[in-house]
Structure formats: structure tokens, C-alpha cells
A and B are shown apart, each in its own frame.
Chain A
């Protein structure tokens, strides 16, 4: 079993719709990161959440860290075709550990 369970694995929506991606674990994390990856490239860091209950916004993206620091969500408002990509959450139990969820492959159709 993976340390981080990410859902859904695949999501195909129309332009303008909203969506939420979830990242859950039974472990407590000191921080969680969200990345976006394009085919053939390395993941690009979107945000790091550190404090339980924290909410961070990045334009149309809203990230939330659970109060217990075991889960996180990514919400995208009014999705655009440019949002298409693989979204990954990552976290570690300590500084020498960083593992990824299975990823959510998002397709936004024009």
C-alpha cells in the first residue's frame, strides 16, 4: 500500500468546471507538497502546506491541509485546458523521506 492515497486517479472534465483532488494518509506529515507534471518533464512544485488547517491559494487553485496533517486537497475553479496534466501530492515522515501519491491525471476539454 502507498503511504499517500490520491484520488481520483483519472479525471476528464469540460472547460469551466470545478474539480477537487484528494490526498489521504494514515500518517502525519510535517508538510505536504503538490506538484504538477507534464509528459517527459520533471514535476513542478505548486505549493507546500505546513500548518494543520492551512489554506493556500494560487490563482484558481486552492490547497488545503487537514487539521490533523494527514490529508490535503487541491481544488481548481473554472478549469482550463492549460490545467491538463498529472497532479501529484508528496510528503515525508521526516526530512530524509519524500514519497508520492499515485497521481491524478487531469484532462480539461475545451
Chain B
């Protein structure tokens, strides 16, 4: 399958700071990238969908000013959690979809806000 690299794998930050998570498709062009959040023992909840060069489409209840998504190229999307608080601690996962239609996932980022 195709390779999607997500970085960092884990991050601990202080409350009030911002954290950037990168998602790269290494061997294909990702026309669409998805960002998910996953709580322990639960499924993935879609946060937003982004297409290269366009503004991201956020799901209801997801604050776009808090979770900034940039999809500047066909191989890179970033999620910035701004002014992070402990309740933002979670497992964040990106996926990338290319022309073939199947989506492939990064390895996830575990964010802990202290």
C-alpha cells in the first residue's frame, strides 16, 4: 500500500501553546486529506477534510480557529492545534487519498497537553 508519514508520533506541550502536526504522502499525490481524532477505545471521528489549495471543510462542532488545517501541496497537510488545553489531549490521525480512491493512514500523533 501507499505510504503516509505523520510527524511527530507523540508530543507533550504546555497548556496555552500551539502544536503542529504534519502529514505527508510519500509515494503518491494526495488530492484529499482527512484529519481524525480518536479517544481511547473509540473509533475515529472526522474533524475536517482538506483538498489541495482549498480551505478545509470542518465537521460540525470542530472549531476551525482552534484546529488550523493547511493543505498547501499534494503531498503535505498540517494540523495546528492552537492554544492547546488538556481537553485537547488525544490521538490525532491523518489519512490521504489519491486518484485511486483508497485512503491510507499515517501512524498517528499522541498529543498530551499538561
Contact = CB atoms under 8 A, between A and B. Distances in A.
Interface in A40-86: 40-45, 48, 50, 86
Contacts of A42: 4, 6, 93, 95, 105-108
B89 to A, nearest CB: 14
B44 to A, nearest CB: 5
B61 interface: no
B80 to A, nearest CB: 19
Given A42-B105, A48-B102, A96 B51 contact: yes
Given A40-B108, A43-B44, A101-B43, A95 B102 contact: no
Interface residues of B, number: 29
Contacts of B78: none
Interface in B87-108: 91, 93, 95, 97, 101-108
B102 A44 contact: no
A109 interface: no
B101 A96 contact: no
B43 A33 contact: no
A88 B43 contact: yes
Contacts of A35: 105
B108 A41 contact: yes
B76 to A, nearest CB: 17
Contacts of A97: 49
B13 interface: no
A102 to B, nearest CB: 5
The 8 A-B pairs at the shortest CB distance, nearest first, are namely A42-B105, A103-B43, A100-B44, A42-B108, A42-B107, A48-B102, A102-B43, A43-B105
22 contacts: A40-B110, A41-B108, A42-B4, A42-B107, A42-B108, A43-B93, A45-B105, A50-B101, A88-B44, A90-B103, A95-B31, A95-B32, A95-B97, A96-B32, A96-B51, A98-B49, A98-B103, A99-B46, A100-B36, A100-B44, A100-B46, A105-B41
